[in-house]
Amino acid sequence: MKYQNFNQEIIELVGGKENIQAVVHCMTRLRFTLKDRSKADTEGLKALDGVIDVVSNQVAYQIIVGTHVSEVHKELTTMLGINDDAPTQQPKAKKNFVKAALDVVSESMTPILEPIICAGLLAAVLSILSLTGLISPESSTYIILDTLRSAVFYFLPIFMAMSCAKRLGANPYLAVALAVTILSDSINGVSGLTMFGIPLPEITYSNSFVPILLAVWVMGYVTKFIKRIVPNSLQLFLTPLLVMLIMLPATLLVFGPIGFYLGEGIIGIFTWLLDTVGAWFVMMLYAALQPFLIMLGAGNFIMPVVASLIAANGFDPAFITACTISDIAVGGAMLGYFLRTRNNKQKQLFGTVTLSAILGITEPAIYGVFVKYRRPFVAVIIGGGLGGLFAGITGVKAYSVAWGLFGLPSYIGEGDFSNLWFMVASVIISFVGAAVAAFLLGVPAEEDDSQEENAKSNQESEGKINLRTIPLKSVVKGQLVQLSEVSDQAFSSGALGKGVGLIPEADDIFSPVDGEVTVVFPTKHAVGIKGKNNEEVLIHIGIDTVELDGMGFDIDVQAGDQVKVGQKIGTVDFKSIKEAGYDTTTIVVVTNTNDYLDVIPETNRTVCDSDLSMNIIFE
């Protein structure tokens, strides 16, 4: 029992044996299901020698211990007396209905943001072309382009059906069939319809998301029930027919009316809030706090509300404006850090995430810098709050769903530029305010980092180190990003070793080194390889993909196999993983980084499997 004392301390600090309902593990962390999380001493666990970090979320209470987690887990379950026949299957966390609904909405919106953003930016381009007189609003060209913009929102139920079907256990094609049916001319917005003699209310399903979301949610349960009662030999013929015969009437009679009035109620609540409290307060609060929402994974939940507001009013009176102001404030905070720091490595990081934040992509800054330094949150609260307050007072409106610097033209009103100028002033206030605040707050631990960098530079200049390198190739074709930019704190902090992130553009996975496969996690989402120079490389495919239980992963090697650099070791269906709502970023780290002088990643760029991803430096 190598980890007996360590495990005994963990058991005591999580509240004792009686507080542990279940415990499983992934590649680096123990995932506890606790009966009462308030009994767990999180700070005590973080201070425990051998614990890298503790993460508590709706899925599980997670204690990150490193790549030897399987050994720790094996002894832990023995001490707990837990029958561990399936150690890799994650227990499903019990969620209340409201939390489950919020998760479904947020995760379902993520895959369909691209067409929504496209429509928003297209609206901005058309506004500019129309106001400058380059294209007449009555011309065929304008009408065709505007049709693309309007079609995205009109057919929102179809996008939502496809996006949430797999997440809710329904057949995506049957879900889309249901969506196109309720959008047909014979049903959508038609009055006087009856079904089985029951009058149907007049409902406009276009531009909505709640009715189809409720219908697909129930479709998942109906599908499972029918598959249990229909013989296997008749599944192909009877299951889709029975599902549709049940779901179409149920949607028109129940979920359609519920969803329609629920959607109207949501809009009414936000309209009341804006009318009574004021847009200035809503914008100020949301612009100041959006980074916290993104960090908690709730950044996309507001999108269905925004789509409904634009469909009902022709504009969004608060939220998209606040999103853009907050994003620009994040960029301002990173610029303040860029100007303040003297550390070259930090300058490179802050400069890179500054640009991405200004363009509307703030995750690299939030997960790579904000989580680590924390003070930027204060800077954004100051800058974003001031910008949001100004936008609210001046009544800025967003006429389409587009944020970031390139989304500003969408604030042009019909023949009126004043809305745009007020928005430009708002983002300037947020950017400057956050930059000044971040500069004054300073960069924590900067001096130590600078001293370490200078010492290393002096050592090299004096010729005291005769350097040799171990090159590591890319494991997948795609976009190489710095480890600090990935959205998993355990990896981005460098606690599990230095390395890189790769945003895949192909499905094949390759070995980065010559060596021996030491472990293939049963859910296939992670592979460990020990190179011929004793480098220990962990390939972690996707973030939180352990929850998929192997779905989409086809790994061709097993522990003990010898592999060559560039050898294909498996295939991953990244498209289905992304559609399921998971981040596909593939992380490659050298877990025994401390055994070497340094691990130096390549710069951000597009790489093929044969390209260099990082170098291990040793004497």
Q: Please name the residues in contact with 148: beta carbons below 8 A apart, sequence gap of 6 or more.
A: 119, 122
Distance CA 238, CA 29 (A): 44
Q: Which residues, including other chains, have CB under 8 Å from residue 363's CB and lie 6 or more apart?
A: 294, 485, 487
The strand ranges marked E within 419-476 are: 468-473
Contacts of 134 (CB under 8 A, 6+ apart): none
Long-range contacts for 306-310 (Cβ within 8 Å, ≥24 apart)? 306/398, 306/401, 307/116, 307/153, 307/156, 307/207, 307/209, 307/401, 308/207, 308/208, 308/209, 308/263, 308/266, 308/267, 309/267, 309/270, 310/153, 310/398, 310/399, 310/400, 310/401
Contact 223, 243 (CB under 8 A): yes
CA neighbor of 151 nearest in space, from 215, 95, 206, 110:
206
Question: In this structure, how many other beta carbons lie within 10 angstroms of the beta carbon of residue 206?
Answer: 17
Return the structure tokens found at 508.
């094949």
**Backbone angle region of 536, left / alpha / beta, with phi > 0 → left and psi within -120 to 50 → alpha:** beta
DSSP lists the bridge partners of residue 479 as: 503, 606
Q: In this structure, are residues 438 and 379 in contact, taking their beta carbons and an 8 Å threshold?
A: yes
Which tokens is 39 given?
A: 């009994």
Categorise residue 89: left if φ over 0, alpha if ψ from -120 to 50, beta otherwise: beta
Residue 273: both structure tokens together:
């809030």
Residue-by-residue DSSP string for 72-128? HHHHHHHHHT---SSTTSPPPPP--HHHHHHHHHHHHHGGGHHHHHHHHHHHHHHHH
How do beta strands 515-520 and 526-531 pair?
Answer: antiparallel
Instruction: Mark whether 608 is an active-site residue.
Output: no
Candidates 26, 118, 323, 608; catalytic one: 26
H-state helical runs in 359-399: 363-365, 371-373, 375-394
Q: Catalytic residue positions?
A: 26
